[in-house]
Amino acid sequence: MSKKWVALLLVVCIGLAGGVGFMRMNADTEGPEIVFTSEAPSVYRSDMSNEELLTGVTATDRKDGDVSSSLTVESVYEIDDSHVAVTYTAKDNSNNITKQKYEMEMDPSDAGKASEDTSAFGEKTDNADSAATTGVDAEQSENPEAADHAEENADVAAVEETPTPTPEVDEAAAEKEKQEAEANAMSDQNPRIYLKDYLIKVPVGTSVDLLSYVSEIKDDSDDVYTLWRKVQITGEVNSAVPGTYKCTYYVIDSQNNISNNAVLTVIVE
């Protein structure tokens, strides 16, 4: 009897191994193909919508067929003064993702706008303040006693002045609140990914470690260690070129549930 059981177990094991091999051979692990037709735009304008950027772009999967509805514009970044690179992504029904870059010429009227936009959070000098300061300086140079009183008043003003939040701090806080609210609204079966910051500014030439901005990942089935190994980041930061870059973070758990998209905006200036 023991030999018969051993033989039966061997047959079962061989059958299971064959079944696993068959499933692996037939598993869909290939992402869709992104194709740019003659109708795809060749000139980029800063006011172009996603619909315009997706015109003439198709996505076809070997198993699922036409999956053009999954196409998204992931990021746009300036290569040089006259060219931009647009990154497109497409996903099939098995969550296989394809990412492809497409280079376009920049409309001459838009040249340099990306660099100008990065200065939106920079400090600006008010002409009225400058004029007032000049007037005080002139008065102090003519009247030393007035200069002493001016210094005393300046010290009092410095103590009583209440710090005002900067525009970039306000925007970063608002973006953090918005994206974390979207993550918290996800179904319990979906993993959730949170970032330390959602908007940062870095000087030109600074290396950006994108993974270091992930603060927490949650899921109802997979452990944290497993989820960290599955973090996907789409988009990139060209720190050598000033501009605004967006990187999207997401996780797919072992049940093929996809997380929220956490978007990090990196401003290189």
What's the mean pLDDT in 92-120? 70
Domain coordinates of the chain in residue numbers? 30-111, 131-164, 166-269
Fold agreement (30-111, 166-269): yes
User: How much of the chain is helix, strand and coil, in % rounded to 5?
Assistant: 40, 30, 35
d(CA 264, CA 217): 15
Confidence of residue 96 (pLDDT cuts 50, 70, 90): confident
In 3D space, the residue among 89, 59, 84 whose CA is nearest the CA of residue 74 turns out to be 89
For residue 130, the model assigns a pLDDT of: 38
For residue 116, the model assigns a pLDDT of: 38
Q: Among 15-29, 43-57, 174-188, 189-203, whose mean pLDDT is lowest?
A: 15-29
In sequence order, the 6+-apart residues with CB closer than 8 A to the CB of 228 are 214, 217
What's the mean pLDDT in 223-233? 86
Tokens representing 125 are 């000098």
Confidence of residue 217 (pLDDT cuts 50, 70, 90): very high
**Top CATH class, 30-111:** mainly beta
Sheet holding 65-66, edge to edge: 33-36, 57-61, 65-66
Residue in the block written with tokens 């009227």:
109
What's the mean pLDDT in 28-57? 88
**Contact call for residues 255 and 221 (beta carbons, < 8 A):** yes
Q: What percent of the chain has pLDDT over 90?
A: 26
* Whether domain 166-269 has CATH 1.10.220.150: no
Q: What percent of the chain has pLDDT over 70?
A: 72
For residue 129, the model assigns a pLDDT of: 41
User: Residue 36 pLDDT > 80, yes or no?
Assistant: yes
In sequence order, the 6+-apart residues with CB closer than 8 A to the CB of 32 are 59, 60, 61, 62, 64, 67, 70, 90, 91, 92, 96, 98
Helix/strand/coil for 40: coil
In 3D space, the residue among 177, 176, 182, 221 whose CA is nearest the CA of residue 199 turns out to be 176
**Contact call for residues 194 and 217 (beta carbons, < 8 A):** yes
Q: Among 22-31, 47-56, 93-102, 125-134, whose mean pLDDT is lowest?
A: 125-134
pTM of the model: 0.42
For residue 250, the model assigns a pLDDT of: 93
For residue 226, the model assigns a pLDDT of: 83
Tokens representing 93 are 């029904």
In 3D space, the residue among 38, 71, 66 whose CA is nearest the CA of residue 54 turns out to be 71
Secondary element (H or E) of residue 35: strand 33-36
Tens digit of each residue's pLDDT (9 = 90 or more) over 115-154: 333 333 333 333 434 333 444 344 444 455 544 545 555 5
What's the mean pLDDT in 226-241? 88
Tens digit of each residue's pLDDT (9 = 90 or more) over 157-212: 444 455 555 566 678 888 889 999 999 988 888 999 999 999 999 998 888 888 88
